[in-house]
Structure 1
């Protein structure tokens, strides 16, 4: 029997060419896990959070690209990017299931080692929130020591959100979005209005005439639905690890996370279901 030759012509000399590890900068990536203690589960804790930051990097990339297209009233390619956001969100949510294999006793072995460091301070998470429209200028404060991060967040805070850009398209289609909605102070939280609800009702009641807007609306719901699931899994993971102790960064821990669950990003898109 002839030996299997299916792999024998594969390129194996990388002394003068780019290898898989070189392309992905694996030496840098895999050396970035630096536990502060000898606790076995600290590596798990670090890896889960680093992986989540990588998914958030992709989410920011896709959100900003989709928003750039929506600003030009280009909907279809933006929908593909938002679908990718949804799939990345699913991966982030599933990561909590891996972290839940760590018990409270496991966590207490290293929790004190990282002091005031907290996911609350993730600038990428805050950037995702700002892009989606959850605006709060106070949340800029933990990033004052990093001017490059602060600038990114400030730009997002004062620019139209994903929902604002969607409402601009509704206005351009003649669906009666008030000027005060389109020209509001973007650094402040969005306030729902009857006129915007009426515009979305028109889209949902006449889907054939507004199919691309209807599809955009449902994609926005997908994004917020997955964002809520991520937050809920975060809440339950923290509660099973530390109960109602304060969070490591000084927040109220579970209390703070429960409050975050009340935030609604695209309110009229949820209200429209009751009105139909």
Structure 2
């Protein structure tokens, strides 16, 4: 809604008359606080085509949302390690809603036709969302850890160091499994595994989570933790699916600008399960 309104006499309303601050000489303004000069000049198209601005803003805003997701996931993991599950649940719920926003953004990008994209695609060079270090960090934080994915960042030692530091920590799911282990003894191969490697599903873990789901009132905190993880992965899967359908709609089955198999590569990613036992147990309950 606009702040502008008129008085009953039809005269323009002056917010200063109502106490609004109107003089920002030497004071913090809205633009100052948000660094809008820097933010709004960060869009630098490499062509003169109309839709490249859409493409840039779509990806920049996605990176901002991922920045917030990382902030929340780090805090949620820290809270779970401290045994402060209730606070972590709020953060995990927020991350799920962040990915709801990321899902909605695909609807805007899908207004770009193949003709629109082809007009500026060459200007991208070899750049690709496949190279997003924030997306990679999120995957590593969740437990989908593939050291081969460090290679696209080899030209940036600082980013490699950031990702390697994450690989040295327990993933969010590892922390959840430690909480599960406190109630149901899990194998040493699960609890003391090499944290830098991708997690492999375990029958013992599935059996333990199944016990939680068979008696949720007796294990309510673990039950709620499990559902918060499933809720988040549900939105994450939708994001991946929307990515696939958007890419297919815009470029068909062409290879990606970064050299991946495009749609075929993205479809393979749909098969990745972040918290596998939480999905598998539903079949056997």
Q: Aligning the two structures, in what range does the TM-score lie when normalised by the shorter sequence?
A: over 0.9
Equivalents in 2 of 1:171, 1:82: separation in Å?
20
Structure 2 counterpart of 1:86, from 96, 99, 111: 96
1:100 — aligned with what? 110
C-alpha distance in 2, partners of 1:186/1:135?
Answer: 9
TM-score (norm 2): 0.94
SS at match of 2:254: coil
Give the drift of 1:78. Answer: 0.2
What residue is the counterpart of 1:130 in the other structure?
A: 140
Q: How does 1:254-273 map to 2 (within 5 A)?
A: 254-273=263-282
Q: How many residues align?
A: 275
Q: Distance in 2 between matches of 1:66 and 1:125?
A: 17
- Equivalent residues of 2:16, 2:22 under 8 A apart: no
1:244 matches 2:220: no
Q: Deviations over 1:96-152 (max 9, x none)?
A: 100000000000110001100000000000001100111100000011111111111
* 1:113-192 map, 5 Å: 113-173=123-183, 175-192=184-201
2: CA distance between counterparts of 1:147 and 1:80? Answer: 34
Query: Pick from 213, 226, 247: which aligns with 1:217?
Result: 226
Contact kept, 8 Å, 2:77 with 2:88, in 1: the verdict is yes
Q: Which residue of 1 aligns with 2:63?
A: 53
Name the counterpart of 1:275: 284
Deviation at 1:5, TM superposition (A): 5.7
Q: Distance in 1 between matches of 2:14 and 2:157?
A: 55
User: 3-state SS of the aligned residue for 2:274?
Assistant: coil
The offset of 1:158, in angstroms, is 2.8
- The 2-side partners of 1:46 and 1:101 are apart by 14
Q: Secondary structure at the match of 2:180?
A: helix
1:6 Cα shift?
5.5
1:83 counterpart SS class: helix
Ranges in structure 2 where 5+ consecutive residues have no aligned partner? 1-7
CA RMSD for the aligned pairs? 1.1
Query: For 2:59 and 2:125, how far apart are their aligned partners in 1?
Result: 16
Contact residue 76 and residue 89 of structure 2 kept, 8 A? yes
Aligned-pair CA distance for 1:154: 0.7
Q: What is the distance in 2 between the residues matched to 1:94 and 1:180?
A: 39
Q: Helix, strand or coil for the counterpart of 1:101? A: coil
TM-score, normalised via structure 1 length? 0.97
Question: Once the two structures are superposed, what CA deviation does each residue of 1:224-255 show, in whole Å capped at 9, x if it has no partner?
Answer: 11111000000000001111110000001001
Q: Secondary structure at the match of 1:109?
A: helix
